[in-house]
Structures are given as structure tokens and as C-alpha cells.
């Protein structure tokens, strides 16, 4: 059961092989944590451990590549446009944004790698949250304030509360591994609805 037909040496172009490694590494480290061993990863790739070091100078180097792959392009450039689109009620914009946003990040890999790296104190996490706030949440907050007018809309801390309530669904599912609704859309929309209701937003 140890090494079956493992001696079939297959040769790949460097770019292709590199991507194979990063892909599998993302899946692997999201499962077992950032301290997963290079040996176990190489086994899952059907490849020698030493091969990893032909593509990455160190394990930290490989992890950095994983972070980049996982974080990169998760924040769609369409979302700031959507949030600023005043032809739609803010409520509808918020719903669409969070439907798409949760669709993008509610995956086993993303949720867990984000948590693992957050706990490890990765600077990348704070940078990501900073971008998210600046590009999506602060504009959303401003749009809601504008729509609320004299009634006084939400402050950023309120927006973070909305955000947290929604993201927590993913945490329950992928970090705590407890049952959640199969379809995320209904609870997400309900959360946005309640939030808008409480601020009297259209």
C-alpha cells in the first residue's frame, strides 16, 4: 500500500508543474493547517519532496504563493461599481454585493486559509481587510448614509456588524464544521433586509 506505481516519472513544463503544486498546496494546507509537512504534500502530488524545492526556495516561499493564489482577485472590480450604482436602491445593491461576495469566499479553502493565516498574524490578512473596507464597505456605508438622509444612516461599526453576521455563516460551516443552510442566499438576504429595515432604508 506504500508506493504503488509511483515510479512513473511524468515531466511537466515548469509553469504547469508550479501551478499544480500551488493548487494542491492550497487544498492541502487549508485542510491540515499551515504546519502541514512538505512530505505529505509531495505524496498527495505523487511527487518527491525534493521536487518542491526545485520550485520554491523554502516552505515559507510556497506558503506565500498559496496566499497569493487564494487572495488574488477575490475582490471583483465590479463591486465598487455596483455599490455606487444609484439606479438601484442601496438595499438591492447590498444584497447583490453580499450574494456575490459570499459566493466568492465561502469555500473550504478560502475560509480556512484566511483563518489560519489570520491566526498566524499574516500581514496579508490585514491588508485584505483594509482593501475590503476601503473599496466596498466604506462606500457602502456612505451610500446608506446618503439614502438615509436626515434619519442618520449606519456608521462603519454598524457595517462591520452586518458584515460579521454574514461572514459568520461561512465560519460556522468551514471552520467550526457545524450544520448551516445549504443555500446561503436566503440568510444573507434576510440579514441585509433586517439591517436596511432597522435604518429605514428603501
Partner DNA sequence: GCTCTTATTGATCAAATGATCTATTATGAC
Partner DNA sequence: GTCATAATAGATCATTTGATCAATAAGAGC
Give contact residues for a copy of itself (rule: CB under 8 A): 33, 35, 112, 115-116, 118-121, 125-126, 129, 157-158, 160-169, 171-172, 175-178, 181, 187, 190-191, 193-195, 197-199
57 binds, among a copy of itself, DNA, none (CB under 5 to 8 A by kind): DNA
Minimum separation from the CB atom of position 23 to DNA (A): 14
> b/e map of 10-35 (b: 16 or more CB within 10 Å)?
eeeeeeebbeebbebbbbbbbeeebe
47 binds, among DNA, a copy of itself, none (CB under 5 to 8 A by kind): DNA
172 binds, among DNA, a copy of itself, none (CB under 5 to 8 A by kind): a copy of itself
Contact between 111 and 105 under an 8 Å Cβ cutoff? The reply is yes
Minimum separation from the CB atom of position 2 to a copy of itself (A): 26
Minimum separation from the CB atom of position 52 to a copy of itself (A): 20
What's the CA gap between 80 and 78, in Å, rounded? 6
User: With respect to a copy of itself, which residue has the nearer C-beta, 95 or 112?
Assistant: 112
Give residues in contact with DNA (CB under 7 A). 6-7, 9-14, 17, 35-40, 46-51, 53-54, 57-60
Q: Max CA-CA distance within the chain?
A: 73
Minimum separation from the CB atom of position 50 to DNA (A): 3
19 binds, among a copy of itself, DNA, none (CB under 5 to 8 A by kind): none
Minimum separation from the CB atom of position 32 to a copy of itself (A): 9
Amino acid at each position: 500500500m506504500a508506493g504503488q506505481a509511483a515510479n512513473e516519472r511524468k515531466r511537466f513544463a515548469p509553469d504547469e508543474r508550479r501551478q499544480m503544486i500551488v493548487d494542491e498546496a492550497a487544498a492541502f494546507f487549508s485542510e491540515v493547517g499551515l504546519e502541514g509537512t512538505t512530505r505529505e504534500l509531495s505524496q498527495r502530488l505523487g511527487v518527491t519532496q525534493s521536487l518542491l524545492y526545485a520550485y520554491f526556495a523554502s516552505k515559507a516561499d510556497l506558503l506565500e504563493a498559496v496566499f497569493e493564489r487564494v487572495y488574488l482577485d477575490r475582490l471583483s472590480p465590479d463591486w465598487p461599481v455596483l455599490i455606487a450604482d444609484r439606479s438601484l436602491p442601496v438595499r438591492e445593491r447590498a444584497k447583490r454585493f453580499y450574494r456575490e461576495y459570499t459566493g466568492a469566499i465561502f469555500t473550504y479553502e478560502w475560509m480556512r486559509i484566511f483563518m489560519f493565516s489570520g491566526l498566524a498574524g499574516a500581514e496579508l490578512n490585514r491588508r485584505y481587510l483594509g482593501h475590503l473596507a476601503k473599496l466596498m464597505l466604506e462606500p457602502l456605508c456612505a451610500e446608506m448614509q446618503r439614502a438615509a438622509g436626515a434619519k442618520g444612516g449606519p456608521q462603519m461599526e454598524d457595517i462591520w456588524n452586518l458584515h460579521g453576521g454574514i461572514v459568520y455563516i461561512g465560519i460556522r460551516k468551514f471552520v467550526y464544521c457545524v450544520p448551516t443552510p445549504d443555500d446561503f442566499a436566503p440568510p444573507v438576504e434576510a440579514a441585509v433586509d433586517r439591517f436596511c429595515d432597522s435604518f429605514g432604508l428603501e
